[in-house]
Amino acid sequence: MPTWSPDASVPKPATKERLRSVARAPRAGYCPCVRNLTTKASLAAALLTTYVAVACGAKTGLLFDDPTPVDGGFDALDAGPDATPDATLDVGADVSPDVTPDVSPDVTPDAPPDVMPDVMPDVPLDVPDVCIPEDDILEREDAEVIFVVDRSNSMDLAIDGNDPGPGEDRRWDVMRDAFQLALTPNNDFLAIGVKMYPRPVPNPQTAGEQCEVTPGLDLAIAPNRVNAFVNLFSSTQPLGGTPTAPALETARQAFANRPDTGRPRFVVLATDGAPTCNPNAATPATCKCTWLPGTCDDPGVGPYLCLDETDTLSAISNTFAQDGIPVYVIGISDPNPLFIDMLNRMAIAGGRPLPNGPRRFYDVQQPSDMNDALVSITDSIARCVFRIPSLGQAEIGEVTVGNTAVPRDPNQQNGWDFTGPEEITLFGATCDAAANLSTVVRASTVCPDQ
The Cα 433–Cα 421 span in angstroms is: 24
Q: What is the mean pLDDT of residues 34-39?
A: 34
Instruction: Please provide the average confidence, as pLDDT, over all residues in the chain.
Output: 78
Q: What is the pLDDT of residues 420-445, one digit of tens each?
A: 888 999 999 999 999 888 999 999 98
In terms of Cα–Cα distance, which of 162, 149, 173 is closest to 335? 162
Percent of the chain residues topping a pLDDT of 90:
52
**The pLDDT value given to residue 117:** 52
Q: What residue ranges define each of the domains in the chain, with the CATH number in brackets?
A: 1-19+131-138+388-450 (no CATH), 43-123 (no CATH), 148-383 (3.40.50.410)
Handedness of CA 158, 160, 162, 166 (dihedral sign): negative
Handedness of CA 65, 69, 70, 71 (dihedral sign): negative
Q: What is the mean pLDDT of residues 261-290?
A: 87
The Cα 335–Cα 161 span in angstroms is: 10
Q: How confident is the model at residue 178 (pLDDT cuts 50, 70, 90)?
A: very high
**The pLDDT value given to residue 125:** 53
| Amino acid identity at 281 | A
CA distances from 411 to 93, 354, 407, 408, 445 (A): 89, 11, 11, 9, 22
**The pLDDT value given to residue 343:** 97
Cβ neighbours of residue 259 closer than 8 Å, sequence gap 6 or more: none
